[in-house]
Structure 1
């Protein structure tokens, strides 16, 4: 894929690590600096994403079916939201992306299979991975809202291993990954994130 004028940032991490909060705060900080920002997430607000969210509350389908649905949602999300924003020279901040699929469905259907299904997914300019112990993260998530079907201690433990393998895979294919200690105070987390992001958007001419 050719270079587009925008910058594509992805915020990832286990459930309760603070992805949504960090993505929103990052988007606000960048907008305050005069940058045009597109804040988005996966599952997306599109039709496949809405269906996926319903499955996450009622109980997921097979790993293969979920991998296919997430790939379909990602393809529509990219075509409908991410790529148009990048063409408009915006900074796209996305909470969850390919790493989540590799971490959750990869252990069951194979990382290579998930990567194949998402072969057309654009590589982020920077992937920020929020590191936090799963028991701490789930405690945070459960205190804030009703947990979905993926957010159980057993699933979180499996996901931790899945994330480790998925991160190694993405780094092996050239993805730039920065790990951020999400157990810190939120202001410290934001500072660590901005330390990585601001030089990148400045380099890209924004």
Structure 2
């Protein structure tokens, strides 16, 4: 985990349309309102590899192996350029998407161990918040507010849901701290459930 650094690393994950971007932004605002220094970020990152990935998601992604490599490269740059420096400054980093997304989307095609190997040096979050939402509901939500990209369809969403289930089980058995939250609730209830898990981390000794 990021316990060797003075900051706290929080990751918000979930399938497309689960509300992770909204939750990440709302969580960051809530923590900042409490006087904490917060760095909100996301993956794909705004860095050069992240920009390439975003263009591929619009035009059509490459093979699962190539996408796994690109996401790992983007993540390595993201950690070095954004996440680690913010944690070293004692900030709370809130990231929408991280390693779990690669495990869910590329893992079923290239193997979970392959994805884990590519991301072996990625910082482990202090808490991974996973928003649970049925794929069909999540896709309807996403499609209601924006145009869907090439990754956002029923087949991919179903595959990702299965990938998330397998990956979460693996991470939890490896001791990673995971908070599962029912994302079908009212937004205020979702935020409340997230804060119930996040706030104790920010008040414990040493953080």
Q: TM-score, normalised by structure 1?
A: 0.98
Q: Where do residues 15-30 of structure 1 align in structure 2 (5 Å cutoff)?
A: 15-30=16-31
The match for 1:113 is 114
The match for 2:92 is 91
Instruction: Work out whether 1:133 is the aligned partner of 2:138.
Output: no
Q: For the residues of structure 2 that align with 1:204 and 1:101, how far apart are their CA atoms?
A: 32
Q: For the residues of structure 2 that align with 1:86 and 1:5, how far apart are their CA atoms?
A: 6
**Structure 1, residues 160-202: CA drift from partner, whole Å, max 9, x if none?**
1000011011112221111000000000000000011111111
Q: For the residues of structure 2 that align with 1:110 and 1:205, how far apart are their CA atoms?
A: 37
> Is the CA contact 1:7–1:204 (under 8 Å) kept in the aligned structure 2?
no
The match for 2:56 is 55
The match for 2:46 is 45
Q: For the residues of structure 2 that align with 1:57 and 1:205, how far apart are their CA atoms?
A: 43
Q: 1:204 Cα shift?
A: 4.8
Q: 2:117 aligns to what SS in structure 1?
A: helix
**Structure 1, residues 19-68: CA drift from partner, whole Å, max 9, x if none?**
00000000000000000000000000000000000000111000000000
Instruction: Work out whether 1:100 is the aligned partner of 2:106.
Output: no
> Is the CA contact 2:71–2:102 (under 8 Å) kept in the aligned structure 1?
yes
> Is the CA contact 1:7–1:90 (under 8 Å) kept in the aligned structure 2?
yes
Q: For the residues of structure 2 that align with 1:149 and 1:38, how far apart are their CA atoms?
A: 29
Q: Point out where structure 1 has 5 or more consecutive residues left out of the alignment.
A: none
Paired residues in the alignment total 206
Q: Which aligned segments of 4 or more residues in structure 1 are displaced greater than 3 angstroms?
A: none
> Is the CA contact 1:130–1:180 (under 8 Å) kept in the aligned structure 2?
yes
Q: 1:2 Cα shift?
A: 6.2
Q: Point out where structure 2 has 5 or more consecutive residues left out of the alignment.
A: none
Q: Where do residues 149-188 of structure 1 align in structure 2 (5 Å cutoff)?
A: 149-188=150-189
Q: For the residues of structure 2 that align with 1:2 and 1:23, how far apart are their CA atoms?
A: 21
Q: For the residues of structure 1 that align with 2:171 and 2:192, how far apart are their CA atoms?
A: 25
Q: TM-score, normalised by structure 2?
A: 0.97
Evaluate the alpha carbon distance shift between residue 116 and residue 128 of structure 1 in structure 2; reply closer, same or farther with a 3 A threshold. Answer: same
Q: For the residues of structure 1 that align with 2:127 and 2:3, how far apart are their CA atoms?
A: 16
Q: Where do residues 61-72 of structure 1 align in structure 2 (5 Å cutoff)?
A: 61-72=62-73
Q: 1:205 Cα shift?
A: 5.3
Give the alignment's Cα RMSD to 1 decimal: 1.0
